[in-house]
Amino acid sequence: MFQVVGHPRVRALHTSPDAALVDVQLDGAPLATGLTFAEVSDYVEFPAGRRQATVVDATEGTPGQALAHATIDLAPGRDYTLVTLGMASEMHILPLLDTATPPDASHAAVRALHASPDAPPLDVRLRSGPTLFERVTFGHATGYIDVPAGTVHLEFAPTGEERSVASLPYHRLAGGDLHTIVILGLLKGEPSLLVLPLIETVAMRLAT
């Protein structure tokens, strides 16, 4: 029996603090239109292969200036998130592979993405619990790790410091789910730091 592998799926996440609205394109075709800060688009299928990603300023009254370009290799049957990173004047695109081996029913898979341009390296920890990730630097995502299912309080703290600068309280980790925990915004300025969880549930995977 032959296993049918579908097209790759791609979505976009906008984390650039000072780019009000952006469009994201793959080979000139729209992937996401009018994304605002901290907004993530739905997955869209694209043919596998090497693709050119472009982020375009979509602010009203602008001439559609290209803000960032990247070459992305898309593999069949894989899911990807294209992240707009950094301030608009030096924006770049970070491709994340979302596809991972799901954990068992007693665990969730968790990773962290540091998308705050002015925040120092950060530790990600559970309140009254262990540190999950150490020294996560801007523009980098960790790998997935398995964390026991349940409700958790996540904290982001500068490496080596007790004081947290952002948190995600009462976050439910359901067994079998995949979680990408994103810290974005500005440590000193607006928009201020916030933590955005992106969750792929078991039901979502079964529906694809």
pTM score of the predicted model: 0.93
Confidence bin at 208 (pLDDT 50/70/90): low
Q: What is the tens place of the pLDDT at every residue in 19-76?
A: 999 999 999 999 999 999 999 999 999 999 999 999 999 988 776 899 999 999 999 9
Specify whether the CB–CB gap between 118 and 183 falls below 8 A: no
Q: Is 3 helix (H, G, I), strand (E, B) or coil?
A: coil
Confidence bin at 3 (pLDDT 50/70/90): very low
DSSP 87-128: -GGG-EEEEEE-------TTEEEEEEEEE-TT---EEEEETT
- Structural domains of the chain, with CATH: 1-99 (2.60.40), 100-208 (2.60.40)
Q: How confident is the model over 144-148, as a mean pLDDT?
A: 96
Q: What is the CA radius of gyration of the chain?
A: 17
Integer angstrom CA distances of residue 183 from 100, 101, 178, 193: 21, 24, 17, 7
Residue with tokens 């810290």: 183
Long-range contacts of 157-164 (CB under 8 A, 24+ apart): 157/122, 157/123, 157/125, 158/119, 158/120, 158/121, 158/122, 158/123, 159/120, 159/121, 159/122, 159/123, 159/134, 159/135, 160/123
